[in-house]
């Protein structure tokens, strides 16, 4: 039987088909901008750029022309086509892998998702992009649920991990979330990497079921939510749960079992924490960009961490996420992690509201269980907050909403 | 005044304080109603949402009377 490469909305693409299409693809663009983000076209184009060794710039197909303009991307150049000069036939998968690894000029440029400010352009070579990709015989039969935007860093990580081990990718992103239980069962999915938000949104449809096929669950792309670990473990009893620290700038760097990240010995001299508890990464670990501001060669990640010992740390919050309430710095994620436990709260977002008395106060936008009464829930949230949080960390205003805005990568927008 | 009374009582009750029966123009926010800075911040945000007025826009507000004139645009 032909080994499947990708399953996308019921359509199956084998590795043979992939190799054939790589040969047939004669015209290419150095810009990868595919409206609707069809994952097959995206993956095919990336592999094509590697085989023919030309730099490629990956642009999210969900971006509107207006957004592209704001990113200073010349929309006309997106549709320029070039022709392959020396057409090259790959015979089998092993040759494909060899050809990929022999690239010299290839870089992949992408944009940070930009929760604050203009998205930054970052270029990676194959080494920085696949630093944490592991190839091993024992991974050969892995089947991946693909749960990220394929043009974003986390999605590319899953893609390379799956490709390098010749695994099958089952696309579960972008409207496919509700089909996840069926897809896991049908394809015997073994690995899934997704954001906490994704897991939270699929949990109701997975509840009460047990899927023994799942071997590994990875949290990435946003702050890890430890309260999801228990329910996920019940649904996936054989899965190891891991948490990954990665950024578009630095790639995937650390892995945590629970909340404590380990700094690998190989890069321990290139990672440090400054006096303000901000995580710093040496520039040699980064992709290339003209927009970094370095301090003596160190890149400030904007991530606040708590150092447990020289090689371990916990992630506390994004520096820019802190809200100043009357001089007290509040980490909205801490408040969210506490208040998500209030019965009747399904999801919530804590953000700042400016005022002239305390500078900012906290506002919570809450998605509630339809059965719960609004007034009662407001009271219980405030009481719960009063019991477990200092008073400046209590959301003073509580609004009930149907949806919490997210960036394209699925991170909550705290604006 | 009734709407304002409801807002203030809601803030007081949620903070675990007893509600008040009525408000006078001379009632002082901090000294009589025991509203702290965070409760005042909450009050100003709620009033801004309900009435579109920032009561602390031009300085310090001490009494209910001053809040009411701000809301009424005096």
Residue range A72-123, pLDDT digits in tens: 888 888 888 999 888 888 889 999 999 998 888 899 999 875 444 456 788 9
pLDDT band at A71, cuts 50/70/90?
confident
Give me the helices (H) in chain B, please.
2-14, 37-51, 64-71
Taking only the tens place, the pLDDT of each residue in A5-16 is 999 998 999 999
Chain A residues near any Cβ of chain B (below 8 Å): 325-326, 353, 355-358, 361, 363, 378-379, 382, 386, 391-392, 394, 396-397
* Distance between CA atoms of residues A311 and A326, nearest Å: 35
**What per-residue confidence (pLDDT) applies to A115?**
44
CA nearest neighbour of A15 among A84, A97, A85, A103: A97
Looking at the complex, does the CB of residue B42 fall below 8 Å from at least one CB of chain A?
yes
Taking only the tens place, the pLDDT of each residue in A367-405 is 999 999 998 999 899 999 988 888 888 999 999 999 887
**What per-residue confidence (pLDDT) applies to A157?**
93
Classify strands A251-257 and A260-262 as parallel, antiparallel or unpaired.
antiparallel
* Distance between CA atoms of residues B9 and B20, nearest Å: 7
Looking at the complex, does the CB of residue B1 fall below 8 Å from at least one CB of chain A?
no
Taking only the tens place, the pLDDT of each residue in A268-324 is 999 999 988 899 999 998 888 877 778 889 998 888 899 999 899 988 877 777 888
Q: Are A108 and A160 in contact (CB under 8 A)?
A: no
Looking at the complex, does the CB of residue B54 fall below 8 Å from at least one CB of chain A?
yes
CA nearest neighbour of B55 among B38, B37, B39, B73: B73
- The pLDDT of A241-255, averaged and rounded, is 85
CA nearest neighbour of A351 among A362, A340, A366: A362
> What backbone phi and psi angles, to 5 degrees, belong to A200?
-60, -40
Percent of chain A whose predicted confidence (pLDDT) is above 70? 96
Contact residues, chain A, for B57 at CB < 8 Å: 356
pTM of the model: 0.71
**What per-residue confidence (pLDDT) applies to A316?**
84
pLDDT band at A409, cuts 50/70/90?
low
The torsion defined by the Cα of A8, A9, A11 and A14, in degrees rounded to 10, comes to: 20
**What per-residue confidence (pLDDT) applies to B74?**
60
Classify strands A143-146 and A108-111 as parallel, antiparallel or unpaired.
unpaired
Contact residues, chain A, for B40 at CB < 8 Å: 357-358
Q: Within 13 Å, how many C-alpha atoms sit on residue B70's CB side?
A: 22
Cβ distance A397 to B41 less than 8 Å, yes or no, reads no
Residues in chain A: 415
ipTM: 0.88
Residues of chain B with pLDDT under 50: none
- Minimum distance, in Å, between the CA of residue B24 and any CA atom of chain A: 22
* Three-class DSSP labels, A246-274: EECCCEEEEEEECCEEECCHHHHHHEEEC
Looking at the complex, does the CB of residue B50 fall below 8 Å from at least one CB of chain A?
no
* Distance between CA atoms of residues A104 and A308, nearest Å: 40
> What is the average pLDDT score of chain A?
88
**What per-residue confidence (pLDDT) applies to A188?**
97
């Amino acid at each position: 039987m032909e080994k499947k490469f990708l399953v996308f909305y019921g359509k199956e693409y084998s590795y043979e088909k992939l190799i054939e299409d790589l040969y047939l693809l004669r015209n290419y663009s150095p810009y990868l901008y595919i409206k609707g983000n069809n994952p097959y076209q995206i993956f095919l184009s990336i592999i094509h750029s590697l085989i023919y060794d030309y730099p490629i710039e990956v642009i999210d197909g969900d971006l509107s022309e207006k957004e592209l303009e704001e990113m200073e991307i010349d929309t006309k150049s997106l549709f320029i086509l070039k022709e392959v000069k020396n057409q090259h036939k790959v015979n089998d998968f092993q040759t494909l892998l060899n050809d990929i690894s022999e690239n010299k000029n290839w870089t992949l440029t992408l944009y940070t998702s930009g929760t604050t400010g203009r998205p930054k352009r970052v270029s990676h070579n194959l080494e920085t992009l696949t630093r944490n990709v592991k190839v091993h015989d024992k991974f050969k039969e892995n089947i991946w649920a693909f749960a990220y935007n394929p043009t974003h860093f986390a999605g590319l990580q899953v893609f390379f991990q799956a490709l390098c081990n010749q695994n099958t990718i089952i696309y579960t992103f972008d409207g496919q979330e509700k089909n996840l239980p069926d897809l896991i069962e049908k394809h015997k999915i073994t690995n899934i990497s997704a954001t906490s938000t994704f897991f939270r949104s699929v949990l109701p449809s997975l509840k009460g079921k047990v899927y023994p096929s799942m071997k590994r669950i990875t949290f990435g792309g946003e702050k890890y939510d430890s309260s999801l670990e228990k329910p996920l473990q019940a649904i996936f009893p054989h899965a190891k749960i891991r948490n990954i620290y990665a950024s578009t700038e630095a790639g995937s760097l650390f892995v945590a079992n629970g909340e404590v990240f380990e700094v690998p010995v190989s890069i321990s001299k290139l990672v440090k924490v400054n006096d303000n508890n901000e995580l710093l990464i040496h520039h040699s670990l980064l992709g290339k960009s003209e927009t970094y501001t370095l301090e003596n060669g160190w890149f400030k990640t904007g991530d606040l961490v708590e150092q447990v010992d020289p090689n371990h740390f916990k992630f506390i919050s994004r520096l820019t996420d802190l809200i100043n309430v009357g001089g007290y710095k509040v980490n909205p994620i801490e408040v969210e992690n506490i208040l998500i436990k209030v019965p009747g709260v399904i999801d919530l977002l804590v953000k700042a509201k400016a005022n002239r008395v305390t500078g900012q106060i906290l506002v919570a936008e809450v998605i509630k269980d339809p059965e719960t009464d609004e007034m009662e829930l407001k009271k219980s949230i405030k009481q719960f907050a009063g019991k477990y949080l200092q008073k400046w960390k209590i959301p003073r205003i509580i609004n009930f909403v149907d949806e919490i805005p997210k960036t394209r990568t699925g991170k909550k927008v705290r604006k | 005044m009734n709407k304002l009374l409801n807002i203030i009582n809601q803030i007081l009750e949620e903070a675990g304080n007893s509600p008040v029966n009525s408000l006078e123009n001379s009632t002082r926010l901090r000294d009589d109603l025991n509203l702290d800075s965070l409760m005042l911040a909450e009050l100003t945000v709620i009033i801004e949402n309900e009435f579109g007025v920032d009561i602390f826009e031009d300085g310090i507000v001490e009494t209910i009377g001053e809040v009411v004139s701000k809301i009424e645009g005096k």
